[in-house]
Amino acid sequence: MQNQYEEARSKLEEARLIFIDLGGRIGTAHCLQHLGDILRMQDRYEEAQSKLEEAQSIFIDISARLEVAQCLQSLAHILGVQNQHKEARLKLEEARLVFIDIDHRLGVAQCLQGLGDMLRVQNHYEEAQSKLEEAQSIFIDIGDRVGAAQCLRSLGYVLGMQNQYEQAQLRLEEARSIFIDLGDQLAAAQCMERLDRG
């Protein structure tokens, strides 16, 4: 969280070797999962994918379903960044179904949000709007203001692309207000920039 990725990776590798030595499969898998996420944040996608797939395989083997879904989410993000949208969407759909099954509402909302944003980028606006509205509703319900504001911002973009400027403006202004309230000036500025562009 302090962006000291190399040190974090070193510690995780050390922990992973101890877990392997002790035969602790869940500990080993968690280390691999975190290593994959760090590598993903460093844009080292191939290495990240390899670690996450290895972690996911162990999680599947030991029936750790929450972690399986989390790995699928991370893998979807990697695929999305590499413009492999179809594969990314399949991973998110798979993760969403696991989250629904284990009643993990935050995970469900995050998957819907990811799907909505991918559909938006691919110009599938109606589908994107539906997913984003569903995600926003869950975020509001569970009290996740950041997630709700991000969905509002994306909905503003989607509505703008469909020439529904008044509705787009309302969403972006609402999102901007929440971001300001949360102290996220960058996100608020992104909303303002889009509003200025009309």
Listed residue (38, 48, 36, 29) closest to 3, CA to CA: 38
Q: What is the pTM of this model?
A: 0.89
197 pLDDT band (50/70/90 cuts)? low
Q: Is the pLDDT of residue 94 over 80?
A: yes
In contact, 69 and 107? CB cutoff 8 Å: yes
In contact, 159 and 129? CB cutoff 8 Å: yes
What's the one-letter identity of residue 61?
D
> What would be the CATH architecture of the domain defined by 104-198?
Alpha Horseshoe (1.25)
Question: pLDDT for 34-75, tens place per residue?
Answer: 999 999 999 999 999 999 999 999 999 999 999 999 999 999
Q: What does the mean pLDDT of the chain come to? A: 94
High-pLDDT (> 70) share of the chain, %: 98
Rounded to whole angstroms, the Cα distance separating 126 from 78 reads 24
The two three-digit tokens of residue 169, written as one number:
């403006």
Mean pLDDT across 25-38: 96
Torsion of CA 8, 10, 11, 14, to 10 degrees: 160
Q: Which residue has the tokens 């798979």?
A: 94
Q: Is the pLDDT of residue 151 over 90?
A: yes
89 pLDDT band (50/70/90 cuts)? very high
Q: Is the pLDDT of residue 2 over 90?
A: no
Q: What residue ranges do the domains of the chain occupy?
A: 104-198
